[in-house]
Structure 1
C-alpha cells in the first residue's frame, strides 16, 4: 500500500548536499504538490554543536503544520542522521494521516540505511528540548539491540498502523498521542468523530435533494482534486440489491432511502485493498458528507460501516430499519424464584402486609430473612424467625 507521495528531484539533490556538507544541522522536508520537497536548510549554531543548535528549529516549526526534519547529530568523531516526523496534536486529521503514512516512503527513497533512527514528535518541546533528546537516548539504551518497537516495524506495518489510527480518530474523535493522531473535534456531532470539509459538486446537492423512498445516491471522492462527486443515482432500488450497486475495489459513501419508511441509511464501505490516500480521505471526510446530506434536507438516522459490499444484505438493512423487538410479557419487577428447601429467602411484601393488618410492626434489615412456610392457609400467618445469612 502506498500513499501516492514520492520524493521530488529537488529533495534528492538537497539531500545529497546535506549528507556531504557537515555544516548543515537540519534539512526540513514538507509535502507539496503530491511530492516530498525540501525547505531551506538550517546550519549548526556552531560547529558540531548539537544541543545549542536545537533552538534554531523553532523558526521552522508551526503549531498546526506537520513537518519532516532530517537532523545531523554529531557523535564522537563522526555524525549520524535522524529522521524526525513532527505532527502537532492539533494539526488537521487529513494532514496528520498523510504525513504519518508517508514517512516510511521518505526514509526508503532517500535510503533507509543512511538513518540511525527515526523519531515521532507531537510537541515542539519534543523537538527542541534538550531533555527530550536525553530521555530518548536513555530509552534507546534500555531497549534490546538499541531499537524501539517502532524501529523494528516494517514499512508496510508503519503505514497500516498510521492509517488505522487515523481512521479510529475520525470515527471516535479520541486523540492518540503516541503517533500524533489527535486534534480538535466537533463533539456536538451526533455520530461522533472529526469533520473535514471537502469540495462538493452542485450535482451532489441536487442528487441528495431528490432522494426518494427506494432511491440510492452514491458519492465518491475524486482523489486528485479531493472533491466529492456523484458516482451513481438510482431509483426503485430493492433492499436486497443495494450491495450490487456498491463497488468492491474502492471506498464509497452510499445513501439509501429505505422503501416505505422515512429512514435514510448512510453506508460507508472501504475495501481492504484501497490505497492509503483513499482510506485517509474517506475516513476523515465522512462526517462532512453526513452533515452535507443533512443540509440538503435528509435526516440520516442509521449508519453502517463495512469493508465489503457483501456485508450490506437486505436482511441487515431491514434490521437497521426494523430492529427485532422483545414481544414477551412485561414483567416489571419480576418476583424472585422460590429458593430450594433449607435455603433462606428475603421477605416478600405480602408477609409485611399480613403482619401489619393485625397490628404487628416488624422491621427488617438487609440481613434479616424469613423462612417461608410451604403449607400454611391464606388465613394463617407463617411462622418466622430472624436469621443471618452467611
Structure 2
C-alpha cells in the first residue's frame, strides 16, 4: 500500500474548515504541519471574485517552507456548497523531511476534510507555478485536447471503420458489450493518483501508478516517479498489478508523452487473484478513462515484469520507420474493407478488439500483430 505519514487533521482545522464551508466567507485558508498535526495557519476573507482574490496567495508562500493552500472557488456543487481548490506548495529549497511529509500527507488532508469538496488540485515548487498565471496555464492544459500523432490518427480511423462495419453488418438493434468482466469500485485515493498523470510534466508529482485489489476494491498500491529504465524493477514480481505509466518518447522527431497500461500476473499468483485481475483489466482502463480522463495509448500484459524494458516500451510507442505503414496502405482496391482494416491494424500494432500486447522474450521473433 502507499505510505502515509500518520499525521492527522487537528480539531482546530476541522472546525475552522467546517465554518469556512458553512458561511462561505473565507477565500484562502493556509494549512501547515505543526507539531505533527495539520493545523490552520492563516486565512483571508472573500473580497472580490476568485481571480481578484487569488493574488493574496503570495502572502502565504515562503522560500523554504511547504504549505497547503485551500482556496474557495466561486462555483458551487449540487449540494449548494462552494467548491474548493487545493494548492500544494513544496519549494525546492525545503528540507527533504518536510518534502516527504507534505507529499505523503496530502491524501489524508483531503480525505478527512472531504474529497468531494476539492474539485481541482494544483502543485508547484516555485511561487510562479502556483500564481494566478500558473493556475490559468493549469486550467488551459486540462481543457486542451491532446494532439494526435499520425499513427494515433490512423488508429482512430481504423476504430471508426470497424465500428461502422460492425454496425452495418449486425444492424442497430444488436446489443453490444464494450467492457466485459467485473467492475470493482476504485477508491478515491487511486482516482486522485491517476488524475495526477494528466498534469503537465512540470506539475506532475509522479508518472507511475500501481493499483492493487484490496477488500473488493481497487486501491492505490504505489505512486512514484520512475525512469523508463527502471519500470521493469518498479512493477512487483510477486503478485498481480495494474500499472499506469506516463512514458516520454520521440515520435516523428518530436518529444511527447503517452500513457501505457501494463497488466502483470506472475504464474505463482493465487487462482482467485488471477481470475479477479483478468476479469477486471478492461474495466479498470474504462474507469481510468472516465474518472481520471486518461487516454491509454498502449495496453500491455505479461507474467514477468522484466519483459517491460525501456527498449520494448520505445519500440511499442514509436516503432522503427521500416515497420510503419505507408500512406498508400490505406487503400486497397483488390481486397475487402475488412481485409484492409485487419492489415493496417497488424502493421500499426493494434488489435481488433482493443486487446493487450504481450512482450516476447529476448531472442525470439515478435509477432507482427497484437495477441489478445
TM-score, length-scaled by structure 1: 0.37
TM-score, length-scaled by structure 2: 0.39
Task: Flag the structure with larger Rg.
Answer: 1
